[in-house]
Structure 1
Amino acid sequence: MLQLKEILSVAAGLCLSATAFAATPVSKVVLQPSENPDTVSRMIYGQFAEHLGACVYEGIWVGEDSPIPNTRGYRNDALEALRELKVPVLRWPGGCFADDYHWRDGIGDPAKRPTLINNNWGGTQEDNSFGTHEFFDLCELAGIEPYLSVNIGSGTVQEAAQWIEYVTAPNGPMAAERAANGRKEPWKLKYTGIGNESWGCGGSMRPEYYSDVYRRYSTYMRNQPGNKLYRIASGASDYDFHWTETLMNRVGPGRMDGLSLHYYTCVSWTGSKGSATDFDNDVYYSTLGKALEIEPVLRRHISLMDEKDPKKKVGLIVDEWGTWFDEEPGSVPGHLYQQNTMRDAMVAALTLNVFHKYSDR
């Protein structure tokens, strides 16, 4: 690192150079830092906490009786990391897990909560000790905006409607039940996902069918006094432009505030996704190329949205993205453990840079 006097010497040298060449004609350079008038939303730096591997249990939540240092059951190191990162928004409980999750199993006395087999990720048995109260309290402790993903795959309209009411209603029977479980005041909830990957693990639906399901659920997931929902429809995977076109035509602005998109970066030539740590230069650059391919994919989805929504009232919510490789050898099957490298950091940087370019949507 340069010392202060060295930096000052360099600065002085630059001034002398500018003086020496002042008489020489130069091309005019005009900087326009505000050429794009749109503001980059801090929400694109959000996070995702699914019940997958050790993300929630052991990673965030250990319980108050754990020998691991914790605050009200949350790991101190994880809590401090979330605060230091200034995480703007956190999505929970999934992912694929969300459409198997029934919220009433995760409220009330933790000792009386039923256990759950996580059929999506490794068949792990969970005790439901991390539920609605634990999630929303975590968001309050860490200064994070909650993003709730609602079960429409195996759940019911009544279940979804009552969950929103339980979380956000200031009074009424659901508010009374929440108060009996230790929380009198309602939480604030803006971002609400109506299903996840409804084309796959969230119900294997066709976009035409899902459009009607979305309209039904969104009708009953009501705003409460002092709380306005931002309803996000389950959107396409990668290159499924038909899904986006169908939802814009059959749902469109006015009924949905956001439309999600999932895009994962992996390079597969042999049926596997490749190793997270064992790769050569060709695979490295292929991975970065696949990451950059998100830009033409975004452009196509955005163009379809623009046709029905030229005023850009519907936000494009890319709420799952990043690298996805094979599980590390010796790790728990179904927990998707992958060791990060600088390759993952490069993919993240390239992807976020693309997101900045399309901040108007």
Structure 2
Amino acid sequence: MLTLTLTASLLSVATGLVAQAPEGLPNPGFEERSEGGPAGWHTRNWQQSGVFTHVQEGRGGGWCVRIESTGGADATWSAVVPVRPFARYRLSGWIRTEDLVPMAGGAGALLNVHEIQTVRTEALTGTQDWTRVEAVFETGRRDSILVNCLYGGWGLATGTAWYDDLELELLGASPLSLSATIHADEVGAPVSELVYGQFIEHLGRCIYGGIWAEMVEDRKFFYPPGEAESPWRVLGGDGALTMATDAPFVGEHDPVLQVSGEPVGLIQEGLGVVEGKRYEGRIVLAASGGVEAVSVTLAWAPGREGRQTVRLTDLSSEMSVYPLRFDATGASREARLEITAQGEGAVRIGALSLMPSDNVRGMRADTLALLKELDSPIYRWPGGNFVSGYDWRDGIGDRDRRPPRKNPAWSGIEHNDFGLDEFMAFCRELGTEPYIVVNSGLGGVEAAVDELLYANAPADTPMGRERAQNGHREPYGVVWWGIGNEMYGNWQLGHMPLSDYVRKHNEFAEAMRAADPSIKLIGVGAVGEWTATMLAECSDHMDAISEHFYRQEGSGLLGHVSQLPESVASIAAAHRQYRAQAEGPDMPVALDEWNYWYGPHVFGELGTRYFLKDGLGVAAALNEFVRQSDIYVMANYAQTVNVIGAIKTTTTDAAMETTGLALQLYRQRMGSLPVAVEVGESPLDVAAAWNADRSALTIAVVNASEEAQVLDLRIEGARVSGRGRAWVIAGDDPMLYNDPGQPPRVAIEERAVERAHRGLTLDPISVSIFELPVR
């Protein structure tokens, strides 16, 4: 047995880390005013709109807060309160109501703790004088909470409520344990490598603008140029452009430039170019009348030196493809693409494409390099909500001829440039396994079977022959298939009652297995009645069941980080109950969407930025997957690029997010044979696993505090060396982030470990994986 001490500067081991936490509600009697309201408190409307006021109508005639609504509201006055982890508190306060009527499932007027939904006081309704209410609760792994003076609550209310004289009383706190015992001889079920999976969806800039290298927006002219939603601007006066709907090259219409001696053309701005880089593409057009030339120009700076032009003179009256090539001698993220015509006549444009010449089969080289570092073993595609309105046939064949569509679930255009064949090229380039979801929303069984056969059937079958005609003779051999996405939700296209959906799922499964018995099917789950019914009615029609969760920004560093592992554990606990009640074999869980989801959209639609604290949360979730290895067969971080993504891009650069660093670190360094770990009530999250050949023990520790920590670590059942290696993600601020085109602020650092029996250092705000070889 080797006893290790993870040394640090923190002296609060004996006294408890929480002794340093500030206590008490801010301005609990609402007497302090700031900017016309109660200092320390803010308002929020969860549903509809309440009216918030800070009034001198309190219990003793002083200040209090009030919420009222005539049409119904779910609203709150809220305050963030630091608390001690693993402590017991009493939240109390006084509430008065007048004609308060709950509606649409609302509770009334009450106090609650936002992060712990079960912590709520009695709810007052009707007309009641000042009444004291209270609730007692445990903080668990939370160092901060959000206290709500709640109006409505999980529904709406009308009438008026006043709140005054709140109090948060500490009833007791456990001293924090900064010790752990690893039982290296108690080995659990192997961790499936598929828990390091990823998910990409046709949403925002995940694929187009992230993975796919196309630079031109709306390259097939879904929107008529010059309209508000089009990225194209028209050069020329009235009549310079018309839209032809007779026999369009692709989609519903083609733009036609009417050339009459004056300059006419189309302009798109905002392209990104890099100095010294070559850009190649094509334009599809037809010219009639006396058109002398069509010029395509890429301009990255003012003046002749800041542009290059390809002049096309040998023009055909039939739609023809003309190559383009530019060599940028400057850099810009506001480059401009111009299409102009000279002479007399008409130029009909079918499509246009431009990519960096270093693209890899149409994909961005910089994004692919980071994806290879991420090294995910499986990718889920194409959705997500998107799949419930997606016709997979739109995405095969000649890319220029594939129809542009309005994205059925999200904003923007679906160009259909990245379809099933491109997804398979993506998977082969990365050496990863494909997981394809079929449309069980608006889609039917026949389309799903055709998609399966297109992917997997031999080339001498009808669907295999179609694949071969598109340049892919050999079957792809896709094993993992999902039937639908989140069909339990009323936001999902094709949503239907559960009783109808179980029959639909089974119809899909029977037909798809009849077409290819080798596949593995994943059904739609959602903990509760939906999952329970799917397991009861569809267990013999699926090989795994999916679950999803997203969490928003939590209060406090520890509380924020702990949300993800708590969700992973909660879903696992529910499935343990399902297994205990089921008669058949255990059903594995595929957690094929999970992540944080909060903050402004910096990188396009749902393109939220992630911080060091989010990386810690992802690492803690990965620790929980290690602990729950008998439950999860797969997990897919959602999503990979830009959209709540592990990688972020601009038009010219790409960078690994802090969440991506955590995924990369665990994929590369964490062992696969989990061992039992005993940890007391601790701010540290600890997991341990042997590597595949049991030559070394890996220990992962997440320190979600802003100070170095001390962990007394006992290893039983194995003799490990005092020398090893460590890989650390750390920083001095939980809000650190990485940005494309800028030096990384957060990175993985490798360190040597010497004389482990004398101590291993855990940095503040850190994720660490230690590798200790067997002696």
Settle same-fold status: TM greater than 0.5.
yes
Which of 547, 552, 561 in structure 2 is aligned with 1:266?
552
RMSD value, Cα: 2.1
3-state SS of the aligned residue for 2:187? Answer: coil
Mean Cα displacement is larger for which, 204-213 or 317-326? 204-213
- Displacement of 1:68 in angstroms is 6.2
Residues 5-20 of structure 1: pairs in structure 2 closer than 5 A: none
3-state SS of the aligned residue for 1:197? Answer: coil
Taking the aligned partners of 1:181 and 1:68, their CA distance within structure 2 comes to 23
Mean Cα displacement is larger for which, 349-358 or 65-74? 65-74
Q: Is 1:87 the counterpart of 2:370 in the alignment?
A: no
Superposed structure 1 runs of 4+ greater than 6 Å apart = none
TM-score calculated relative to the size of structure 2: 0.38
3-state SS of the aligned residue for 1:247? Answer: helix
3-state SS of the aligned residue for 1:70? Answer: coil
Taking the aligned partners of 1:206 and 1:290, their CA distance within structure 2 comes to 30
- Displacement of 1:164 in angstroms is 0.1
Taking the aligned partners of 2:450 and 2:583, their CA distance within structure 1 comes to 31
- Displacement of 1:52 in angstroms is 1.4
Taking the aligned partners of 1:221 and 1:358, their CA distance within structure 2 comes to 30
Q: Which has the higher helix share?
A: 1
Q: Is 1:144 the counterpart of 2:417 in the alignment?
A: no
For the Cα contact (< 8 Å) 2:456–2:476, is it kept in 1? yes
Taking the aligned partners of 2:495 and 2:558, their CA distance within structure 1 comes to 33
For the Cα contact (< 8 Å) 1:136–1:187, is it kept in 2? yes
Which of 535, 549, 553 in structure 2 is aligned with 1:248?
535
Q: Is 1:118 the counterpart of 2:407 in the alignment?
A: yes
> Between Structure 1 and Structure 2, whose CA radius of gyration is higher?
2
Change (3 A) 1:352 1:203: farther
Which of 39, 44, 67 in structure 1 is aligned with 2:356?
67
3-state SS of the aligned residue for 2:577? Answer: helix
Change (3 A) 1:141 1:267: closer
For the Cα contact (< 8 Å) 1:322–1:347, is it kept in 2? no
- Displacement of 1:105 in angstroms is 0.3
Letter in 2 for 1:210: Y
Match of 2:161 in 1: none
Match of 2:617 in 1: 347
3-state SS of the aligned residue for 1:146? Answer: strand
Match of 1:180 in 2: 469
- Displacement of 1:353 in angstroms is 1.1
Change (3 A) 1:130 1:344: same
Q: Is 1:257 the counterpart of 2:543 in the alignment?
A: yes
Change (3 A) 1:242 1:68: farther
Match of 1:359 in 2: 629
Which of 170, 187, 192 in structure 2 is aligned with 1:36?
187
For the Cα contact (< 8 Å) 1:47–1:89, is it kept in 2? yes
1:303-329 CA deviation, whole Å, 9 max, x = no partner? 2134225642x2100000110113337
Change (3 A) 1:224 1:301: same
Residues 238-317 of structure 1: pairs in structure 2 closer than 5 A: 240-252=527-539, 254-267=540-553, 282-294=555-567, 295-308=569-582, 311-312=585-586, 314-317=587-590
Match of 1:51 in 2: 202
- Displacement of 1:286 in angstroms is 3.4
Q: Is 1:234 the counterpart of 2:524 in the alignment?
A: yes
3-state SS of the aligned residue for 1:32? Answer: strand
3-state SS of the aligned residue for 1:343? Answer: helix
Match of 1:222 in 2: 513
Taking the aligned partners of 2:444 and 2:419, their CA distance within structure 1 comes to 18
Match of 1:165 in 2: 453
Change (3 A) 1:350 1:202: farther
1:288-311 CA deviation, whole Å, 9 max, x = no partner? 343232113320133213422564
3-state SS of the aligned residue for 1:153? Answer: coil
Mean Cα displacement is larger for which, 282-291 or 98-107? 282-291
- Displacement of 1:35 in angstroms is 1.0
Q: Is 1:211 the counterpart of 2:502 in the alignment?
A: yes
Taking the aligned partners of 2:409 and 2:181, their CA distance within structure 1 comes to 54
- Displacement of 1:135 in angstroms is 0.3
3-state SS of the aligned residue for 1:50? Answer: coil
For the Cα contact (< 8 Å) 1:168–1:224, is it kept in 2? no
For the Cα contact (< 8 Å) 1:164–1:222, is it kept in 2? no
For the Cα contact (< 8 Å) 2:565–2:623, is it kept in 1? no
Q: Which has the higher strand share?
A: 2
Change (3 A) 1:289 1:75: same
For structure 1, the residue ranges without an aligned partner over 5 or more in a row are 1-28, 269-281
For the Cα contact (< 8 Å) 2:390–2:408, is it kept in 1? no
Taking the aligned partners of 2:627 and 2:384, their CA distance within structure 1 comes to 26
1:100-127 CA deviation, whole Å, 9 max, x = no partner? 11110000111111011113222x1122
Q: Is 1:109 the counterpart of 2:398 in the alignment?
A: yes
- Displacement of 1:163 in angstroms is 0.2
TM-score calculated relative to the size of structure 1: 0.80
Q: Is 1:191 the counterpart of 2:480 in the alignment?
A: yes
1:36-61 CA deviation, whole Å, 9 max, x = no partner? 33100110000111111111012111
Change (3 A) 1:190 1:40: same
Taking the aligned partners of 2:182 and 2:210, their CA distance within structure 1 comes to 45
- Displacement of 1:284 in angstroms is 3.6
1:101-159 CA deviation, whole Å, 9 max, x = no partner? 1110000111111011113222x112211101000111011101000011010111110
Change (3 A) 1:223 1:77: farther
For the Cα contact (< 8 Å) 1:62–1:68, is it kept in 2? no
Taking the aligned partners of 1:214 and 1:94, their CA distance within structure 2 comes to 17
3-state SS of the aligned residue for 1:74? Answer: coil
For the Cα contact (< 8 Å) 1:267–1:286, is it kept in 2? no
3-state SS of the aligned residue for 2:523? Answer: strand
Change (3 A) 1:108 1:259: same
- Displacement of 1:69 in angstroms is 2.9
Taking the aligned partners of 2:452 and 2:543, their CA distance within structure 1 comes to 17
Kindly, what percent of the aligned residue pairs are identical? 36
- Displacement of 1:265 in angstroms is 1.2
Taking the aligned partners of 2:357 and 2:577, their CA distance within structure 1 comes to 50
Letter in 2 for 1:157: V
